[in-house]
Homo-oligomer: A and B are copies of this chain.
């Protein structure tokens, strides 16, 4: 086993503390990665405040540099700049994996943290750490010319909104709504705008309007304003809902045009809506989670081409508990990236 340092929580609600953890020795297909930046995802907050599993090292959107390669590695060399997302393995044989949708692996994908290695059963610990060891099939080349810290959140938040936007073939002439302006929402605006769509942000806070317009939104609608919402009825081809708190989906179903789709990414606890709002206009409700390997690569290529990255606030890694606390109260614009070169006891 290899020893590295990581920010680890022992139990639900406990603070992250710097300590040593073990990683596996490299298998032939593995690379060892010196992590430079790791994004802070709302999933990290959920896991830390919730069910873990504990002990927990969060972090599933990170970038770094390859420091060692296994004997069978072909795509990377020592010194390669790389990125890793929230999946590090899958069964590889089910119909979902065969379709490049490892995120929906019928035998469940191996999560970057909080999962178990498929070969030795050891728990996976995430990227709030100095080093990570991963099979090269789930490691990506860092796009050149993009700021590494700002690429890190693309690996989870980015692909999570990218895949549905691509699946529903968002492009010029389409009207797209984005619900919520956080880590996912701000990237959804950037992507949908770059794909050529007319983009509307739905937000609870009028104060977010200027930020959304800067990101590429064409219009901002305050979701708490019934008149403003009614004015949007039957107009959207596609709405991507990134709000993480449970909320009524009915107003967004009503805002869809005939045969439009509402893709709700965050409302996993419950999906509350009036079935009649789905019926009238033959509308569709969908969900999606994360992305497969091909979509992740496609997203990175698109970002390189269009110069798109996440808007990040970089904090030194030793301020990790501050980042978690601030994210919990949505006090970030729009994603934290931890500088893993600045690890010390928090």
Contacts and interface: CB of A to CB of B under 8 A. Distances in A.
B268 A99 contact: no
Interface stretch (A61-69, A277-285, A312-320): A277-285
A275 interface: yes
Nearest to A283: B286
Contacts of A285: 278, 284-286
B282 A167 contact: yes
B258 A104 contact: yes
A106 interface: yes
A282 B95 contact: no
A275 B259 contact: no
Contact of A287 (B104, B261, B267, B282): B282
Nearest to A270: B275
Interface string A269-301: 111010110111111111111000000000000
A248 to B, nearest CB: 13
A49 interface: no
Contact of A268 (B163, B270, B276, B282): B276
Contact of A284 (B96, B261, B270, B281): B261
A164 interface: yes
Interface string A96-107: 100101001010
A252 to B, nearest CB: 14
A234 B279 contact: no
A93 to B, nearest CB: 13
Nearest to A271: B275
Contacts of A104: 258, 280-282
A218 to B, nearest CB: 20
Contacts of A284: 261, 284-286
Contacts of A280: 104, 289
Contact of A167 (B95, B259, B278): B259
Nearest to A279: B287
A241 to B, nearest CB: 12
A95 B261 contact: no
Contact of A164 (B233, B267, B282): B282
A95 B234 CA distance: 8
A162 to B, nearest CB: 13
Contact of A95 (B258, B270, B279): B258
Contacts of A106: 233-234
Nearest to A285: B285
Max count, chain B CB within 10 A of own CB: residue among A233, A283, A288: A288
5 contacts: A101-B282, A104-B280, A278-B285, A283-B287, A285-B285
Interface of A: 95-96, 99, 101, 104, 106, 163-164, 167, 233-234, 257-259, 261, 264, 267-271, 273, 275-276, 278-289
Return the 5 tightest CB-CB contacts between A and B, nearest first.
A279-B287, A278-B287, A284-B286, A282-B288, A279-B289
Given A280-B289, A283-B286, 7 more contacts: A95-B257, A104-B258, A167-B282, A264-B275, A271-B273, A278-B286, A279-B289
